[in-house]
Amino acid sequence: MERQQTEGILEEAGLSRVEVIVHAPQWGNLRADFPSASLLTKSPAVTCRVSDLLFALRKSILRVRARRGVRPRVLESEEELGAYFSLRYRVWKECGYLAPEKDDPKSQWELDFTDRTSLPLGFFSGDTLVACGRLVRGLGEEFPKYVSLINSLIDRQGSAELRRYFSYPQHLAHPFDVLKTFAEFPGYYCHLVRDGRSKAEVSRIIVDPHFRGHGLGEVLVDSLVTLAETYGIEVLFLACHEFREAFYGRCGFQAIPGMRADRFLAIRDSVIAMDRCLKTARKTEEARSACSET
């Protein structure tokens, strides 16, 4: 990459230097995974292969920018969770994603039964939550701490609607409410279960409108990938608007062949499913092929 091009990117970002380690083939002990802007990694540098140098530089710039303004934290208190559900409600209400039957104007919180098996991550500017996302685990993988905290919050709110949202439905095959949009998903999911793959859904990727336009959403998804790795999760999947494919592609996700639909939660729009394989030599092609077998 030309020095002039590099300097131009740094100048545009208002930076003088960033750290990128380029992986050479003979450096077998150095990780050169998909370049990441995660705020949960200990190394200050972004590692990459030679072919990914420009992309890694971009990731490093995003990370430096984010570290200047926000701090990541796995949410652990009632106060943090309250801010989390409030931010979700406000943004989803504005976007039109909130179905009428899931709208509780009294509490102005957005939550449901999938929060029982979810691990939430927040980005804070000072004491203010400005971005959030979560990893949704499978049935039987509840986080008791979060179930207890959320039950306490619901009791304090005194909302029968929130209590209903947080309760498991009578008939439930999996907790991934968004992915039930796809007729092909049960086959894909069952294949992962039969293969013993640990898995989670990336969902509720939310950035406060005042903090958009600086790549914070991408940093958030990269950070959730790191969080998933620490929990030994092998496969991540998600559903998104089709026009978001490039965004999640920059975080290492690929569209799952055959998984497209014409609706997304409360709105009618073109939507796709994507996945990413983590920390394993095994690939997801077999699980992907299950889509065409059902």
- Cβ-count burial of 253 within 10 angstroms (0-12 exposed, 13-18 middle, 19+ buried)? buried
pLDDT at 140: 87
Q: Is the domain of 169 the same as that of 285?
A: yes
pLDDT at 254: 96
pLDDT at 183: 87
Among 28, 53, 69, the domain boundary falls at 69
DSSP 267: B
CB contact at 8 A, 85 and 255: no
CB contact at 8 A, 125 and 116: no
Q: Is the domain of 89 the same as that of 179?
A: yes
Maximum CA pair distance of the chain? 61
pLDDT at 212: 94
Q: Which long-range CB contacts under 8 A does 98-103 form with residues at least 24 apart?
A: 98/266, 99/265, 99/266, 100/266, 102/165, 102/266
Q: Is the domain of 215 the same as that of 274?
A: yes
CB contact at 8 A, 245 and 224: no
Q: Is the domain of 133 the same as that of 60?
A: no
What's the CA angle centered on 21, arms 20 and 25, to 5 degrees?
145
Q: Is the domain of 33 the same as that of 75?
A: no
Phi, psi at residue 34, to the nearest 5°? -55, 125
Q: Is the domain of 101 the same as that of 156?
A: yes
Q: Is the domain of 22 the same as that of 101?
A: no
Among 69, 102, 119, the domain boundary falls at 69
- H or E stretch covering 104: none
Q: Is the domain of 32 the same as that of 110?
A: no
Q: Which domain holds residue 262?
A: 71-293
CB contact at 8 A, 70 and 125: yes
Neighbouring-strand partners of residue 135: 119, 202
Among 44, 69, 94, the domain boundary falls at 69
Q: Is the domain of 215 the same as that of 286?
A: yes
pLDDT at 170: 84
Q: Is the domain of 177 the same as that of 58?
A: no
Phi, psi at residue 99, to the nearest 5°? -70, 145
- Report how many domains make up the chain: 2
What is the full per-residue pLDDT of the chain (294 aa) written as tens digits?
444 544 454 555 555 455 555 544 444 444 446 888 999 987 666 665 655 677 888 888 899 889 989 999 999 999 999 999 999 999 999 988 888 888 999 999 999 999 999 999 999 999 999 999 999 998 889 999 999 999 999 999 999 999 999 999 888 777 886 677 888 888 899 899 899 999 999 999 999 999 999 999 999 999 999 999 999 999 999 999 999 999 999 999 999 999 999 887 777 789 999 999 996 534 444 444 544 444
Terminal Cα distance for the chain, rounded: 47
Nearest in space to 94 (alpha carbons), one of 210, 175, 203: 210
pLDDT at 154: 96
